Amino acid sequence: MYNPSKPYKKQIFDLISKTWSTPFIEVKRGIYPVFKEKVLGWKVDHTDGVGTKGDYHWKKKTFKNAVLDALAMNLNDLALVRATPYKLQNHIFLPEDNDKYILNIIGTLSKECQKRKIAMTGGETSIHNNSPSIDISMTVSGFIKKLKPNKCKPGDILIGLKSNGLHSNGFTKIRELFGNKYKKDFTKPTRIYIDEILGICEKFTVNGMMHITGGAFTKLKDIAENVDLKIYKKGKILPHNIFYEIYKRGVSDKEMYTIFNCGVGFILSVPVNEKEGILKNLIGAFEIGEVIRGSGDIVIESAFSNKIVRF
Amino acid sequence: MYNPSKPYKKQIFDLISKTWSTPFIEVKRGIYPVFKEKVLGWKVDHTDGVGTKGDYHWKKKTFKNAVLDALAMNLNDLALVRATPYKLQNHIFLPEDNDKYILNIIGTLSKECQKRKIAMTGGETSIHNNSPSIDISMTVSGFIKKLKPNKCKPGDILIGLKSNGLHSNGFTKIRELFGNKYKKDFTKPTRIYIDEILGICEKFTVNGMMHITGGAFTKLKDIAENVDLKIYKKGKILPHNIFYEIYKRGVSDKEMYTIFNCGVGFILSVPVNEKEGILKNLIGAFEIGEVIRGSGDIVIESAFSNKIVRF
């Protein structure tokens, strides 16, 4: 827990306390900040972090992007249960006890939290001076206005939201393929979808949703009960160049769609009659496939060849 | 978030769901477990982890002790605000994707949580295959029956609770002093004090409390407002052998008390008339000093020499 008694930790504490003006929680400062919650009903906690992408963030000192990655990994998953994030605890795993780095990280996080009315209720920095990597992980709590199932329905249209590139998964593979080589793609931050997704869910019917991250398109199986999901080549989202580069290094079509988002970071399964309205309200969103009666198969026309990938 | 769709992850999910029989929270299983809280009023979240002690736990595969360390770091701090822990999210940073290791870790955590009616609401495992260390961190939420200040009062007696050895801090120093040498002391788990401390706080008046961890005895300054704390040599807690060994390697008295618990893992500041009752109700607890009017000084008669250490 951050302790304001140490010099730069006071600055950290000030950055954290800036996030306490939120309608969802009342925070009182003591030896630790304690709080009363003003949200009732169903809640969810979610923990995730940057993972091995942290190797590149550490080498290039791209701390702001590391924070966005860690936030995205949590917020985009919270979107799947339609949860509004309202408080957060962070854990920063850092190879060097450097005030500037830590203040940069906490400062970015504080700003992103203020934007969304998320209260930072605390956190911890852990210095591992023999580690080659940073990891930023966090636990984000969300409240759910209305619990709804997350299941694709036969007849649904699949809408894909463009990714910002690799996002935060597949980096063990990236290191395997590229060795010590660095590309700017390796530190680009993950797109945060939750803000627009929660807006869409308020106005339109959405039956199923998936954040395409670790496990990539195989994760769609979790929302495909008694249906098959078909993703077409004619869908208007082309993979970024980096994905073609990876493919050319000998990764199979199936592996591509198991590890990487291949250009699509988030998928919505929506009734046909909602399609137009939803597409108009989203940026970088396109029809990419459909849902038919079936037995839980995911069928993808590969963007990289004429092959069909099946999960 | 653990996903039950993968084979060994189902076992993980089963271990986690065993912790859901608690009076404090109602958990419902979906794509993620969502929950309703049954505790009202003031709450606190706390995040902490094993830190660089994880290097030794990884080398020796002492995962059970690593879990106890991570739990202790959180629970002992929650005790300072008299919070009853009721839910927890974990983040496991592991150099190798090994089912056995992960199940061992989650199994131990599940058992410890069941003992204390703490619901595991989720977690994440992050594989960093170029890291030399494990880290287990967690966010533990607690509810507070009655908010009370944590301040030593003039005239109080200081009661020390024996530590179990090094506990989970000072390991950067340990690596510096011992290099590649390993000693069993390096993987002994931290003593968990919260269960007995909460019991004591229900029955007796306790004015101030401190968990002697990172920052060691300097942390006492946080609870020493307008008082001085004096810790006597005649106190009945002797440092473990490992602390004398460290001291002999050239660490100053002041550094010893800044980095290490030197045998005392938790300190209570209590009114004189409560002393006997409290000592009778605790194991391994002894009078170690007193509180007098002053200006926030911590004065320690070193156990290692005739020197006086002042903070």
Q: Predicted ipTM?
A: 0.90
- Angle, in degrees to the nearest 10, between helices B99-116 and B7-17: 10
pLDDT over 70 at A166, yes or no: yes
User: Comparing C-alpha atoms, which of A222, A205, A211 is closest to residue A277?
Assistant: A205
Does B124 contact A137 at a Cβ distance shorter than 8 Å? yes
Q: Nearest residue of B to residue A142 by CA position?
A: B34
Q: What is the DSSP letter of A156?
A: P
Does B45 contact A132 at a Cβ distance shorter than 8 Å? no
Instruction: Say how far apart CA A153 and CA A155 lie, in whole Å.
Output: 6
Q: Which residues have CB under 8 Å from B110's CB, separation 6+?
A: B15, B16, B18, B19, B120
Does B131 contact A132 at a Cβ distance shorter than 8 Å? yes
The pTM of this model reads: 0.93
Q: How far is A280 from chain B (nearest CA, A)?
A: 28
pLDDT over 70 at A60, yes or no: yes
Question: In sequence order, which ranges of A46-162 are alpha helices (DSSP H)?
Answer: 54-60, 63-80, 99-116
Coil, strand or helix at B11: helix
Check if the beta carbon of residue A80 is closer than 8 Å to that of residue A142: no
Does B43 contact A37 at a Cβ distance shorter than 8 Å? yes
Residues of A in contact with B215 (CB under 8 A): 3
Q: Nearest residue of A to residue B88 by CA position?
A: A45
Q: Nearest residue of A to residue B78 by CA position?
A: A32
Residues of A in contact with B124 (CB under 8 A): 47-49, 137
Tokens matching residue A32: 């630790």
Instruction: Say how far apart CA A131 and CA A98 lie, in whole Å.
Output: 14
User: Comparing C-alpha atoms, which of A112, A132, A98, A151 is closest to residue A19?
Assistant: A112
Best residue in A89, A94, A173 to probe B by mutation, most B CBs within 10 Å? A89
**Per-residue buried b or exposed e for A212-235, using 16+ beta carbons within 10 Å of the residue's own CB:** bbbbbbbbbbbbbeebbbbbeeeb
Q: Which residues have CB under 8 Å from B80's CB, separation 6+?
A: A31, A32, B150, B209, B210, B211
Measured in residues, chain A has a length of 311
Q: How far is B209 from chain A (nearest CA, A)?
A: 11
Q: How confident is the model over A3-23, as pLDDT tens digits?
A: 555 667 788 989 999 999 999
Q: How far is the CA of A90 from the CAs of A183, A304, B217, in angstroms? A: 28, 38, 25
Does B139 contact A144 at a Cβ distance shorter than 8 Å? no
Q: Nearest residue of B to residue A150 by CA position?
A: B31
Does A36 contact B43 at a Cβ distance shorter than 8 Å? yes
Coil, strand or helix at B195: helix
Instruction: Say how far apart CA A34 and CA A122 lie, in whole Å.
Output: 10
User: Comparing C-alpha atoms, which of B200, B204, B190, B195 is closest to residue B162?
Assistant: B190
**Which residues, numbered 21 to 50 in chain A, qualify as contacts with chain B under a Cβ-Cβ cut-off of 8 Å?**
28, 30-37, 41-49
Does A41 contact B46 at a Cβ distance shorter than 8 Å? no
Question: Is B90 near chain A, with CB under 8 Å?
Answer: yes
Give the phi and the psi of residue A213 in degrees, each rounded to 5.
Answer: -135, -140
Tokens matching residue A185: 């793609």
Question: Is B128 near chain A, with CB under 8 Å?
Answer: yes
Question: Is A147 near chain B, with CB under 8 Å?
Answer: yes
Tokens matching residue A207: 């039956």
Please give chain B's pLDDT, 311 residues, in tens: 555 556 677 889 899 999 999 999 999 987 789 999 999 899 999 999 998 899 999 999 999 999 999 999 999 999 999 999 999 999 999 999 899 999 999 999 999 999 999 999 989 988 888 888 899 999 999 999 989 999 999 999 999 999 999 999 999 899 999 999 999 999 999 999 999 999 999 999 999 999 999 899 999 999 999 999 999 988 779 999 999 999 999 999 999 999 999 999 999 999 999 999 999 999 999 999 999 999 999 999 999 999 999 99
Question: Could you give the strand order of the β-sheet that contains A135-144, starting from the edge strand earlier in sequence?
Answer: A119-127, A83-94, A135-144, A43-49, B34-37, B25-28
Check if the beta carbon of residue A194 is closer than 8 Å to that of residue A85: yes
pLDDT over 80 at A192, yes or no: yes
**Which residues, numbered 215 to 244 in chain A, qualify as contacts with chain B under a Cβ-Cβ cut-off of 8 Å?**
215, 219, 221-223
Check if the beta carbon of residue B155 is closer than 8 Å to that of residue B291: yes
Does A3 contact B215 at a Cβ distance shorter than 8 Å? yes
